[in-house]
Amino acid sequence: MIIYPNTGALWGAGLLRTALAASEIHLFRAAMGITINPALTLAELVAAEATYTGYAAEEITTFAAPLLNPLGGASTNSGTVQFQIASPYTVPNVIGGGWIQTAGGVLVAAWDYDPTRTLAGAGDGFPVDLFLLFG
């Protein structure tokens, strides 16, 4: 059996933090055939990327310093970013999930929302705060 002692988990989370400098969080539309699984590709996600009025991926300049996570291992987090539809609300979307990619375009992680999130009118939006766990 292999374990990561606290020092190793913090070191690994620190490497992850460094690798994610200037990374981007993106959203994808529901009902676009995306299934979260190990074979998922960046090309599939890009083809299903959100298109609602005012949509733009959110850049994460720096992830937070690693800390020992109560769930075990060490984690780093993106900090909260908000996705919100802009006025005039001409292009709505139902959001099925999202992904994070490095500045160099490497797909790191993807997730889905259950229930999905609708962005269609005034006040529609939601926060995203990614916690990535190492160890």
For 28-69, write each residue's pLDDT tens digit.
999 999 999 999 999 999 999 999 999 999 999 999 999 999
**pLDDT tens sequence across 80-128:** 999 999 999 999 999 999 999 999 999 999 999 999 999 999 999 999 9
As a whole number of angstroms, the distance between CA 4 and CA 80 comes to 28
- Concatenate the DSSP letters of all residues of 10-59 into one string: HHHHHHHHHHTTTEEEEEEETTS----STT--HHHHHHTB---TT---EE
